[in-house]
Amino acid sequence: MRGRLWAEAARFVLNVWPCIRGTGVRITEISTDFRSLKARLPLNWRTRNRVGTIFGGSLYAATDPFYMLLLMQRLGKGFVVWDKAAHVRFRRPGRSTLYFEIAVTEAEEDEIRRLVGEKGAIDYRFKTELRCAAGVVHAEIEKTVYVSTREHDAARQARRASAPV
């Protein structure tokens, strides 16, 4: 499967995957080159808190795995990619459906490949915003993703395994 069919199959699988489905987020589009995805987080009975706005945890969880998944697809099997950290800044309460786009630009991918080639492993930061239909920012999410070569990661794991406890 290539191109549009592969992207649509991935979108379907991600939308029914329990850990993503449980956040309430719905992926609306994945680019055929797996460089970006668009999604929405509705305000509904599953995402609404006691005061009638979207749970803060839902705002973060909606964006959680996507940079890692896109990078894994873009970089290929020679790389190890892990979510490492996140920072959420709540700007306004989510009182309606919020929208966001996760993207890994060609320049970012090139920089990641170059830095990992030089250092063996890096922590790379991405930022995204959740916005209402009017374009107002309700939350800013910064994700830190660990990227290394398979060889570097195997050596790191071997060092940890041989270290005294």
pLDDT digits (tens, 9 = 90+) for 10-58: 999 999 999 888 889 999 999 999 999 999 999 999 899 999 999 999 9
Distance between CA atoms of residues 25 and 51, nearest Å: 20
Report the CATH number that the domain containing residue 37 is assigned in CATH.
3.10.129.10
Amino acid in position 156: R
Question: Which structure tokens are listed for 151?
Answer: 């060889």
Rounded to the nearest 5°, which phi and psi values hold at 115? -65, -40
pLDDT digits (tens, 9 = 90+) for 112-165: 999 999 999 999 999 999 999 999 999 999 999 999 999 888 888 888 888 787
Asked if pLDDT for residue 1 goes beyond 60, the answer is no
Number of domains comprising the chain: 1
Q: How far is CA 46 from the centre of its chain?
A: 21
Both structure tokens of 145: 């993703």
pTM for the model: 0.89
What three-state secondary structure class fits 129? strand
Integer Cα distance of 152 and 119 in angstroms: 9
CA distance 36 to 78: 21
Residue ranges making up the domain that contains 113: 3-162
